[in-house]
Amino acid sequence: NAGVMQNPRHLVRRRGQEARLRCSPMKGHSHVYWYRQLPEEGLKFMVYLQKENIIDESGMPKERFSAEFPKEGPSILRIQQVVRGDSAAYFCASSANPGSSGNTIYFGEGSWLTVV
């Protein structure tokens, strides 16, 4: 886990507000993934990004959610006009060489979003 940094760890938003979650990958990793964990459930893939590119967003809700991984700075998961159903833990992960032998994926400690 060491090295994937997420912030904030906990975030409370009122319905209709925006939530921004940040993720800095491990040093040397250029591939970032976002997963969502709803209460009492497993982790579900949302989006996979490489620097400045979205590689796979098949798990992202079609509306209100967006992600970016700019050339400089952390990856951002943005949720607009939050609703109570968005309350969940959002985990970021990073890796060095997806699809290759020995490619371990490392997770951050998660960001817990509560919508009130």
Q: Which of residues 49-108 bind other proteins (CB under 8 A)?
A: 55-56, 89, 91, 93, 98-107
The DSSP call for residue 84 is G
Query: Pick from 114, 115, 110: which is nearest to 43 by CA?
Result: 110
Distance CA 100, CA 65 (A): 29
Tokens of 30: 């250029």
| Listed ranges 19-27, 39-47, 69-77, 78-86: which one lies at the site for other proteins (CB under 8 A) | 39-47
Rounded least distance, CB 35 to other proteins, Å: 8
Amino acid at 33: Y
Judged by the rule CB under 8 A, the positions of this chain that interact with other proteins are: 1, 31, 33, 35, 41-45, 48, 55-56, 89, 91, 93, 98-107, 109-110, 112
